[in-house]
Structure 1
Amino acid sequence: MYEKLSPFTSIYLLTAVVAAFTAGTLPSGVVPQEFDDGYDESILLTRTRQLTFAGLRAGEGYFSPDGTHLTLQSEREPGNPFYQIYDLDLTMGDVRRISPGIGKTTCSFFQPGTGAIIFSSTHHDPRSEKFQREELEFRASGQERRYAWDYDPEMDIYIAPGPAVALAGPDGTVDPKELVRLTEARGYDAEASVSPDGEWIVFSSNRQAYDHELTEEELTLLEFDPAYFAEVYIMRADGSDQSRLTDVSGYDGGPFFSPDGSRIVWRRFTENGLMADLWSMKPDGTEQLQLTNFSSMSWAPYPHPSGEYIFFSSNKLGFTNFEIYIVDTEGMKEPIRVTTTDGFDGLPVPSPDGTQLAFTSSRNSDGGQGSGQIFLSDWNHKRALELLAAAPSRER
């Protein structure tokens, strides 16, 4: 059974992860914390530089297979206060919008071998522009509210056929007619990524909350915590053969394939939404293995291309202090801390050759407490392996 937390407490805890790097203010009653354990992030990260500057916030940057482009989400469109998807040319610095510019979008990813970009969007919802106006009017009124991801049941997965950047017209944007819709089930379909061979897409969905009649308790949960029903699913790259991989109460999402495609790593929230940990499994959903047990919110896993360890984010050191860590792929050793700079550091993604790390951070904004942007650092893979080898074994 679902532990009886108040609805506010449950949704507050789940959305705090996102709010930590996207909101301009801290949640009420939370005091910023500073940590200094004598460790310096320059051991693993060097030449850290900011990649994105435009708009209110940006995040979730993922490399193209050749490492020359980054697909990301950002709030920067005039007339639309919600995220849209962009392609950043890391060589030339050019930015092109891939999503339609209407509605909400999130979670983009390149398809290997094609240059196509998948992402989730609500632009098909006829109410999209109405919601945009309402949000803009609310912000213009001077009112403030805590940022919260709403798990819009209209969110579906689309693909911009490859190469996606070639679809952009003279104005640097893609015509919505060029997009192919991959999911249509009622419910939140997002957090998608593609297998190394380009044949499979793994994603998170709470569609199970909409495909049958719910009990009164379930209806209350859906109203205040729709993420509770989210599970990990898999489908072919054309949207066919959709099937569910997880079946545990609580939010399962953020899945990514291992470099050889033999495993999927994702994060699982506890049933009451208080904590999250990293897990891995085979692509058929079997051999599920817990990789972390920090007793905190550990999320946003992404494998290093060597296949020897996984990047992730955790607030182990304090509610608002999200840092980046690495852990071995079997979860045998205690994780190693990567970042030490004040502010949110999360959503780590290594370059295809494993020599760089892109991540979202608020380190350059309002003393680390402002909105997030995307940063890029050189990554010391050799030193990471040495630190993991020397790490103590994890208690199971």
Structure 2
Amino acid sequence: MKMFAGRPNDSQSAIKFSPVLFFLVALSANAAGFITDEHQLSVKEKRAGEAYYRADSKWMIYQAEVADDNPFYQIFLKNVESGAVTQVSPGTGKTTCAWVHPSQEKVLFSSTHEDKEAKAKMAAEIERRKAGEQKSYAWDYDEFYDIYETDFSGGNIKNLTKTLGYDAEASWSPDGKLIAFASNRRAYSGELSEEETALFKANPSALIDIYIMDADGSNVKRLTHTKTYDGGPFFSPDGKRIVWRRFSENGREAEIFTMAIDGSDQKQITRLNVMSWAPFYHPSGKYIIFATNVHGHRNFELYIVDVDGKKDPVRVTDKEGFDGLPVFTPDGNYLTWTSDRTPEKKGLLFHGKWDHQKALESLALK
């Protein structure tokens, strides 16, 4: 999903010290100032995150845990001007990775609501929490995740993938004609080699690749061909490229990559040798914002880097804890992201004014 998947456990928290790391740590004092008028955007939700805007900035879609009878995220659409919120997902099972069509009144999201065991899994999770059972965060690559399209009321829902396997992390292209997404559908095709079968059994995320398809779900094409997790794809503002993150084979690191929408010209943008993920283009197309734990295993901060990866990444946030899943408003003047900088340390949405000029200057861009 676009949410963080496969967080390393505590035994993997040691980070190798390097000149690059030293340089980034030295930038800490310069981190403040990119974001002003910072405030918490979500209030009523138990957890909320991963917000995205329609091209006209009138609508924001996000995922949140709200109801006591469903412990998993559901998808909500917010009218930015009025503040009115509508749940657009069915309310059963798990959901993730929503997106608003650039011009039409419809949304994308992934859901497991067609899983016959969806309600049983909800009940089991509620009982686990009631029992006080603690477990480390780990994303669930549920094979019943499919990508759905629905209107602004949550009606006329349509399954676009209808394929066993994890289909998620979807977004429309700027013109609304294409959808990029992540999937491990190959693992359920019956065509894996013995090596791939063993790899998938040990790590279900290992066979997740980036795919692209027409907006109606047709003409599906696989763009990446690795034995590591490629996920979290987003289109560039001009629709010509895709940015995503690629995990290392051991699952302990991830780097930011870009490629043409046909899968060619794949470029590695970061080389931090830690967990760098959740990349998103600024609407100017000049730089990418992403999250990384270069300052500590559990301390995720936001950084920016030029689209060619030729400049040293520059730190944006400097608060202990989790800051991730950043997204710019379509005009590029504001930033919304997910953070646990709350008293309860629960992930919620934060928002602030973005200094685009300072970002350009910090990266020595025009």
TM-score by length of 1: 0.85
Taking the aligned partners of 1:37 and 1:329, their CA distance within structure 2 comes to: 20
**Contact 2:283-2:328 at 8 Å conserved across structures:** yes
Q: State the match for 1:288 in structure 2.
A: 266
Runs of 4+ in 1 over 6 A off after TM superposition: 28-31
* Greater percentage in helix: 1
Q: Aligned equivalents of 1:301 and 1:329: distance in 2?
A: 11
Q: 1:196 aligns with which of 174, 181, 199?
A: 174
CA shift for structure 1 position 294 = 0.4
Deviation digits for residues 19-58 of structure 1, max 9, x if unmatched?
Answer: xxxxxxx958979xxx896525442100001011233311
In structure 1, the residue matched to 2:81 is 91
AA of the residue aligned to 1:279:
F
Q: Deviation per CA, 1:207-243: give whole Å up to 9, x if none.
A: 1111125455544433342111100000001101011
Letter in 2 for 1:270: S
The CA deviation at 1:14 is 5.3
Query: Mind listing any 5+ residue stretches in structure 1 that lack a counterpart?
Result: 1-12, 18-25, 168-173, 392-396
Change (3 A) 1:259 1:29: closer
Alignment partner, residue 69 of structure 1: 59
Question: Structure 1 CA distance, aligned partners of 2:193 and 2:267?
Answer: 31
User: Does 2:366 correspond to 1:388?
Assistant: no
Distance of 2:248 and 2:168 partners within structure 1: 20
| Equivalent of residue 228 in structure 2, options 229, 250, 253 | 250
Partner residue in 2 for 1:153? 143
CA contact (8 A) 1:27 1:146 kept: no
Cα distance in 2, alignment partners of residues 200 and 390 from structure 1: 30
Partner of 1:15: 6
Query: Whole-Å Cα distance in 1 between the matches of residues 328 and 225 of structure 2?
Result: 29
Structure 2 CA distance, aligned partners of 1:42 and 1:383?
Answer: 11
What is the letter of the counterpart of residue 376 of structure 1? H
Match in the other structure for 1:306: 284
Corresponding residue of 1:376? 351
- Opposite residue 135 of structure 2, the aligned amino acid is R
- Amino acid in the other structure paired with 2:118: S
- Cα distance, 1:348 vs structure 2: 0.6
Tell me the secondary structure at the aligned position of residue 347 of structure 1.
Answer: strand
Distance 2:137 2:245 in 1: 21
The alpha carbon displacement at 1:91 in A equals 1.9
- In 2, distance between residues paired with 1:41 and 1:28? 29
User: Structure 2: which amino acid aligns with 1:387?
Assistant: S
Alignment of 1:338 onto 2:316:
yes
C-alpha deviations, 1:295-335, integer Å up to 9, x for none?
A: 10111010000000011111111111100011111111111
Matches of 2:348 and 2:125, distance apart in 1: 22
For 2:349 and 2:160, how far apart are their aligned partners in 1?
A: 28
Give the distance between the partners of 2:357 and 2:105, measured in 1 at CA: 30
Matched residue, 2:21: none
1:109 to 2:84 alignment: no
Count of equivalent residues: 353
What percentage of residue pairs aligned between the two structures are identical? Answer: 46
Residue 68 of structure 2 corresponds to 78
Cα distance in 2 between the residues matched to 1:348 and 1:137: 32
User: Match of 1:203, SS?
Assistant: strand
RMSD, aligned α-carbons: 2.1
Once the two structures are superposed, residues 150-180 of structure 1 have per-residue CA deviations (whole angstroms, 9 ceiling, x without a partner) of 100000000113xx1xx2xxxxxx34xx101
Please say if 1:262 is aligned against 2:240: yes
Pair 1:184–1:385, CA change in 2 (3 A)? same
TM-aligned CA distance change 1:38 to 1:197, over 3 Å: closer
Counterpart of 2:7 in 1: which secondary structure? helix
CA–CA distance in structure 2, aligned partners of residues 326 and 38 of structure 1: 13
Unaligned regions of 5+ residues in structure 2, if any? 15-24
For the Cα contact (< 8 Å) 1:77–1:101, is it kept in 2? no
2:110 matches 1:132: no
| Deviations 1:62-107, CA, capped at 9 Å, x for gaps | 0111112210011112311011000122222221101000000000
